[in-house]
Amino acid sequence: MKVRTQSKKVDKAWFNQHVTDPWVRRAQQDGYRARAAYKLQELDATYHLVRPGQCIVDLGCAPGAWCQYLRRRLGTVTDTTGHVRLRGVVVGVDLLPVEPIDGVHILQGDFRDEATLQALQATLQHALGGKVPQRAVDLVVSDMAPNLSGIEEVDAAHIEHLIELAVDFAVQHLKPEGALVVKVFHGGAYDGAVRRLRQHFRTVKAHKPKASRPQSAETFLVARGLIEPGVASTLST
């Protein structure tokens, strides 16, 4: 009974914080599915990540708030046939189902699986109007995070694994001047995540958006410019 009572108290406290959160209210007013949209908005405003015409992949996109922001940021254009289309390509991938977003390609599956990667490549090829090179992506964004167990060593290993997967995907699919955004948490996984990104990108910058809750240890790493092995990169905070 005590465990259940404590859980109810925690759930109630979280719910009260959630419904009174100004970012949650703003997301509801602006039609975003989650407050996370404003995290990407600030990262974009700070580092100029998104431009019309880009090809962007969102890893772990559920519930779709980042895809919503990317769609709005890219904008739309009407072609000669009167068809309205996105000024660029956005593909979201997640294990969970995601409600459709007009103009955005949503794939349900594990991007680590070959079948999902093939489906992603086919989607990019179709969206870009023909055969595309392997490195056709301008921006990869990842808001993925594991379910935290509270055991620091275990959680750090899971976080590092997700970042490793995102980095591997980005290295294989980004254009040379492309960018990668990943979420990390201060603690056991942070230094390892930074080292991994610095192995592959010229610059790696850390940023905590205002929309992140103050008590949250989350930080986003913004990596740009793929480098050859052995070339040093820089980290700014």
- Kindly state the helix (H) or strand (E) to which residue 76 belongs, with its residue range: strand 76-78
Q: Is 110 annotated as a binding residue?
A: yes
Rounded to whole angstroms, how far apart are CA atoms 52 and 177? Answer: 16
Rounded to whole angstroms, how far apart are CA atoms 95 and 109?
A: 5
**pLDDT grade for 230, boundaries at 50, 70 and 90:** low
Catalytic residue among 8, 183, 208, 210: 183
Do residues 71 and 181 both lie within one domain?
yes
Contact indicator for 219, 190 with CB cutoff of 8 Å: yes
Q: How many domains does the chain have?
A: 2
**Enclosing domain of residue 185:** 33-236
Worst-scoring range by mean pLDDT, 26-30, 183-187, 202-206? 183-187
Kindly state whether residues 26 and 137 are assigned to the same domain: no
What is the rounded distance in angstroms from the CA atom of residue 145 to the CA atom of residue 131?
33
Query: Which range has the top average pLDDT, 12-26, 35-49, 83-97?
Result: 35-49
Question: Is 143 flagged in the annotation as binding?
Answer: yes
Indicate if 8 and 63 belong to the same structural domain. Answer: no
Catalytic site residue 183? yes
Return mean pLDDT, the chain.
Answer: 86
Burial class for 47, CB neighbours closer than 10 Å (0-12, 13-18, 19+)? middle
Residues 41 and 121 both lie in one domain: yes
Please state the rounded mean pLDDT for residues 65-90.
91
Residue 236 has pLDDT above 70, yes or no: no
Same domain, 161 and 187: yes
Rounded Cα gap, residues 111 and 95, in angstroms: 8
Alpha-carbon distance 157 to 144, whole Å?
A: 14
Q: Does 225 carry a binding-site annotation?
A: no
Give me the pLDDT at residue 9, please.
Answer: 44
Report the distance separating Cα 97 and Cα 79, nearest Å: 31
